[in-house]
Structure 1
Amino acid sequence: MKLQGQLTDAQLQPPDDKISGIHVFFLIHSVQTGVGGLGFQRIIAQKAGHDSWMAVLIAGVFVQIAIFFMYLALKKRREDLIALHQRILGSWLGKIFSLVFMIYFVSLGAAVTRSYSELVQIWMFPDLSTWSISLAMLLLVFYIVSGGFRVVVGISVLSVILPFYLLLLLIIPIEHAEFSNLLPIGEATFGQLLNASKEMMFSYLGFCTFLMYYPLIKGGPRTQKWAQSGALFTMILYFVVSIITLAYFSEKQLLTKIWATFSLFKVVQFPFLERFEYVGLASWAFVILDNVCLLLWASVRILRRLWPQSSGRKFLVATLVLIFLENIILSGRDDINKYIQFVNQWGVVINFMYLPLLYLVGFFREKWRRVP
């Protein structure tokens, strides 16, 4: 007889508590549009120059492929990451790799919160301490995640809808753009584009939280169209922003803009509001909040699935403390950059190498068992 901790979430979750397929669009898209969307242009331009917009598309295609493999791995049994690991890797090894994902989610959440804290300090409150900004954000995260998965989903929907007006305001920089800055097309080598695509991955990371909430979705495999649509919308959004940025700034200017997207908002001025970037930064807090909430929910979910008798609230507090300490330790731009690069490399390995390999191992293992 199976223990409750060994059952899949699909068996434990009441059908009425599951979310509809369209919510997957918001969950995938919202977790991909964090701090990476505010400064990816300079990073990829360092690798591929004015052809760096191609790297946005290449990285986006890899995301679509990774989502396809996730559905292939999960759809037959309506599993989550924990059950998938236990089926393919066994109990102990599966638990170890599940914990690796938990640590990855927490690390990515720390990278997001620390980057946003730095952004607030640079653009709004230079004298405000890092710990106070992080503490305020993490208290909100604790309140939201404590409300359960449906509350987190609601925040994801709001984080897509409320800041959407910022995209419309990018029409103003277009009036001053020089699209000749994009020419000549094709100067970057294939190797340079791949390196730029690798750096671009940080802006797309977080979508593998899907592995934890897949059993909580109505429709299961039929929701792949929503997941792919969410990732596609993110790719189109980043593509448009990268084109506008490359056209507005010269290549030399862009290499000096750490937060290129917010530099574009400085162009926006109204008679009643001169520093519009303050409004943009405050609006983007919804996006950052959603990122951290979903990542923390997924990490706590992993711990609850591995140790179902333990308190989820204690796990949540522990992960929040870890993020808070990491935020304090990362004291300067060099430390933050190194940490983000580390998380990015980790994410590339997990999302685009490990997950397809895990599916293939499970696939051939099943084929081998069927051989008489």
Structure 2
Amino acid sequence: MSKQGEVALTNLQKQQDEKVSGIHVFFLIHSVQSGVGGLSFQREITEVAGHDSWMAVLLGGVLVNLAIFFMYLALKKRGEDVVALHQRILGSRLGMIFSLMFMVYFISTGAAVLRTYIELVQVWVFPEISTWSISLVLILLIYYVISGGFQVVVGISVLSVILPFYLLLLLVFPLQHADFTNLLPIGQLSFKELMGATKAMTFSYLGFCTLLMYYPLLKDGPRTQKFAHIGASYTTLIYFVVILISVAYYSEKQLLANVWPTFGLFKIVRFPFVERFEYVGVATWSFVILDNVCLLLWASHRVLKRLWPQSRSILFMVIVLSLIFLENILLTGRRDIATFNQWVTYWGLGINFLYLPLLYLLGLAKGWRGRAT
């Protein structure tokens, strides 16, 4: 066998070794959607939809599953990622521009998640801690995980789903004080209000489009679609339960005044060995945030390597993490962070629910033209 053949065989074997089984798609989809948005989404959607805000959670879940359906339609025919899709449908130059758009989007979403979690730590646990110190610790940990490769990121995703599961069981405590008549009367919001609340809910569902980058690393990719839908539906179910308990536990005024309603539910949890259980919740949630940011930044790194295979991975990650560190320092107040998150939400709404279906339809149209000629 020639030297080039041996290199090709080695690269093929390496790619096969990097692939993960289909069940991991459930963890990858669900974990990346269970970030900081799950801690504050109640206030944001209740501000628009009132006690009917649970409808926005369900509608958002339906839209996410629809977006995943379009992703698989576009990906499973050729087993390619979004970079290959762009090059095939849009051409080399225009495709590179739109692939870079995805890279920046992944980085921006990861930065938004990390900064929001740092704010959570500063509000609930360490009010006096400096932003730069906790940012530095988290960024070093993120770099360590990403440098281990995709399989390490997948392992963190599995842990981020399993370890915080006990927090769901603790919702029985606020459930004892809930008044479900707060949900009545049902169906008073207008269509415009429902759409506005669904848009506000988008930030909590973002991140699932990382599927567009790790799809080629899945074993038997087309058969993993059911796991992706199950993961997204599981996220929707959890958010649905949380919003029902939140609306029943809080009054509407209390819910609108609480920036972190989910952790507010844990304030009444008392054990003989833990007085302030929300501290434990904040620490546990760090696994979820770590997975969110690592998967998003891994996806951005994957875009770079697909566009420029000879690029230096270490240099890229150092630059990206340095920019995120700078962003964490510059965003100093609640208003700045909320504005940045809103900008990321609009971007994610456009990419996931408008651009990707249009890209798929454009690919179909191009295929039809090709067969006609």
The interval holding the TM-score normalised by the smaller chain is: over 0.9
Alignment match, 2:355: 354
**Structure 2 unaligned regions, length at least 5:** none
1:208 maps to 2:225: no
Alignment match, 1:25: 26
Give the Cα separation in 2 of the matches to 1:127 and 1:144.
Answer: 28
Give the Cα separation in 1 of the matches to 2:67 and 2:15.
Answer: 29
Give the Cα separation in 2 of the matches to 1:134 and 1:241.
Answer: 29
Paired residues, number: 365
Displacement of 1:316 in angstroms is 1.2
Give the Cα separation in 2 of the matches to 1:296 and 1:314.
Answer: 14
Displacement of 1:221 in angstroms is 0.7
Kindly indicate whether the alpha-carbon contact (under 8 Å) linking 1:13 and 1:216 is maintained by their aligned counterparts in 2.
no
Alignment match, 2:59: 58
RMSD: 1.3
1:187 aligned counterpart, secondary structure: coil
Displacement of 1:13 in angstroms is 5.2
Instruction: Give aligned-pair identity as a percent.
Output: 67
Displacement of 1:12 in angstroms is 7.9
Task: Give the ranges of 4+ consecutive aligned residues of structure 1 lying more than 2 Å apart after TM superposition.
Answer: 10-17
Give the Cα separation in 2 of the matches to 1:95 and 1:322.
Answer: 22
Displacement of 1:321 in angstroms is 1.0
1:255 maps to 2:251: no
Q: How does 1:262-301 map to 2 (within 5 A)?
A: 262-301=263-302
**Any idea what the Cα deviations from partners look like across 1:307-334, whole Å, max 9, x if unmatched?**
1111111111111111111111111001
Give the Cα separation in 2 of the matches to 1:110 and 1:11.
Answer: 33
Displacement of 1:365 in angstroms is 0.5
Give the Cα separation in 2 of the matches to 1:12 and 1:326.
Answer: 39
Give the Cα separation in 1 of the matches to 2:233 and 2:219.
Answer: 21
Q: How does 1:208-247 map to 2 (within 5 A)?
A: 208-247=209-248
Kindly indicate whether the alpha-carbon contact (under 8 Å) linking 2:82 and 2:212 is maintained by their aligned counterparts in 1.
yes
Kindly indicate whether the alpha-carbon contact (under 8 Å) linking 2:31 and 2:291 is maintained by their aligned counterparts in 1.
yes
Displacement of 1:17 in angstroms is 2.6
Displacement of 1:11 in angstroms is 6.1
Kindly indicate whether the alpha-carbon contact (under 8 Å) linking 2:33 and 2:235 is maintained by their aligned counterparts in 1.
yes
Alignment match, 2:324: 323
Call closer, same or farther: CA 1:246–1:93 in 2, change over 3 Å: same
Alignment match, 2:17: 16
Alignment match, 1:74: 75
Displacement of 1:190 in angstroms is 1.3
1:173 maps to 2:187: no
1:157 maps to 2:158: yes
Match for 2:130: what amino acid?
S
1:309 maps to 2:310: yes
Q: How does 1:26-175 map to 2 (within 5 A)?
A: 26-175=27-176
**Any idea what the Cα deviations from partners look like across 1:115-170, whole Å, max 9, x if unmatched?**
00000000011110111111111100000000000000000000000010000000
**Any idea what the Cα deviations from partners look like across 1:45-86, whole Å, max 9, x if unmatched?**
000000000000001100000000000001111001110100
Give the Cα separation in 1 of the matches to 2:243 and 2:75.
Answer: 34
Kindly indicate whether the alpha-carbon contact (under 8 Å) linking 2:18 and 2:150 is maintained by their aligned counterparts in 1.
no
Match for 1:83: what amino acid?
A
Give the Cα separation in 2 of the matches to 1:13 and 1:286.
Answer: 28
Give the Cα separation in 2 of the matches to 1:272 and 1:289.
Answer: 27
Give the Cα separation in 2 of the matches to 1:181 and 1:317.
Answer: 49
**Structure 1 unaligned regions, length at least 5:** none
Kindly indicate whether the alpha-carbon contact (under 8 Å) linking 1:39 and 1:261 is maintained by their aligned counterparts in 2.
yes
Give the Cα separation in 2 of the matches to 1:16 and 1:305.
Answer: 18
Kindly indicate whether the alpha-carbon contact (under 8 Å) linking 1:26 and 1:156 is maintained by their aligned counterparts in 2.
yes
Match for 2:103: what amino acid?
M
TM-score when normalising by structure 2: 0.96
Displacement of 1:304 in angstroms is 0.9
Give the Cα separation in 1 of the matches to 2:249 and 2:326.
Answer: 38
Give the Cα separation in 2 of the matches to 1:259 and 1:157.
Answer: 25
Displacement of 1:16 in angstroms is 3.2
Give the Cα separation in 2 of the matches to 1:147 and 1:247.
Answer: 44
Kindly indicate whether the alpha-carbon contact (under 8 Å) linking 1:172 and 1:268 is maintained by their aligned counterparts in 2.
yes
Displacement of 1:15 in angstroms is 2.2
Displacement of 1:14 in angstroms is 2.9
Give the Cα separation in 2 of the matches to 1:197 and 1:133.
Answer: 32
Kindly indicate whether the alpha-carbon contact (under 8 Å) linking 2:170 and 2:269 is maintained by their aligned counterparts in 1.
yes
